[in-house]
Structure 1
């Protein structure tokens, strides 16, 4: 299935980070595995970025589906990984 946006000033071929909120919602609701993989890739690259926060906002009220569960898990695991790999405050690397 090919993802198409209606009444949104974006193209599905654009980087997902540039999609407006409505396009993200459309991708979750009507997209396929390829589209969800693109979203999860963007979440992994920037777990607290604008796309991740928009997605998190939508998932807070979306009807539960397999796609919403996958995306919630992607956000959670990307943030956990980011927390685990960032240097601790007040400590220099190697100490």
Structure 2
């Protein structure tokens, strides 16, 4: 039997993001694998978005403990995968900063104010550096964060800048 939403202006064929609390609840309680898969896909697209937030509320209202366990498991797995991708993205960006700096890892770590072994944990993604550390790494690399190169600040540059201001 096909899923139908009662008293809603959306239908199961509409994007999951439009279903809201009642639509998600109906899909979980009365839907089938195709509806559940669509919910999982919406979570994958935005693991911390509106569907994820609505789902947390919906699961408190779902009466079937097996469905609650299933969707909590799906949501947890998707969040873990998203975090792994985010950690990898930070590690990749930091690797790019090290390369762009032209410094050895030991020199980069020293300029960053950390040890070479701690830098290795950042570069592997085991540990996520703070935002402050990323800003510092960006500055050391001489980039603006959007891929555009900037000339690293040096004493000669600072002196030349000061001379220009006097003109």
Q: TM-score range by the shorter chain?
A: 0.7 to 0.9
- Structure 2: which 5+ runs fail to align? 99-167
Tell me the distance in 2 between the aligned counterparts of 1:40 and 1:71: 8
Q: What is residue 63 of structure 2 aligned with on the other side?
A: 63
Superposition RMSD in Å: 1.9
Task: Say if 2:82 is the partner of 1:82.
Answer: yes
Q: What is residue 35 of structure 1 aligned with on the other side?
A: 35
Tell me the distance in 1 between the aligned counterparts of 2:27 and 2:51: 12
Runs of 4+ in 1 over 4 A off after TM superposition: none
Give the CA deviation at 1:45.
1.2
8 Å CA contact retained: 1:16, 1:39? yes
Q: What is residue 22 of structure 2 aligned with on the other side?
A: 22
TM-score (norm 1): 0.85
If asked which structure has higher relative contact order (CA below 8 Å, sep 6+), I would say: 1
Give the CA deviation at 1:61.
3.9
8 Å CA contact retained: 2:25, 2:62? no
- Structure 1: which 5+ runs fail to align? none
Task: Say if 2:94 is the partner of 1:93.
Answer: yes
Instruction: Give the number of aligned pairs.
Output: 94
Task: Say if 2:24 is the partner of 1:8.
Answer: no
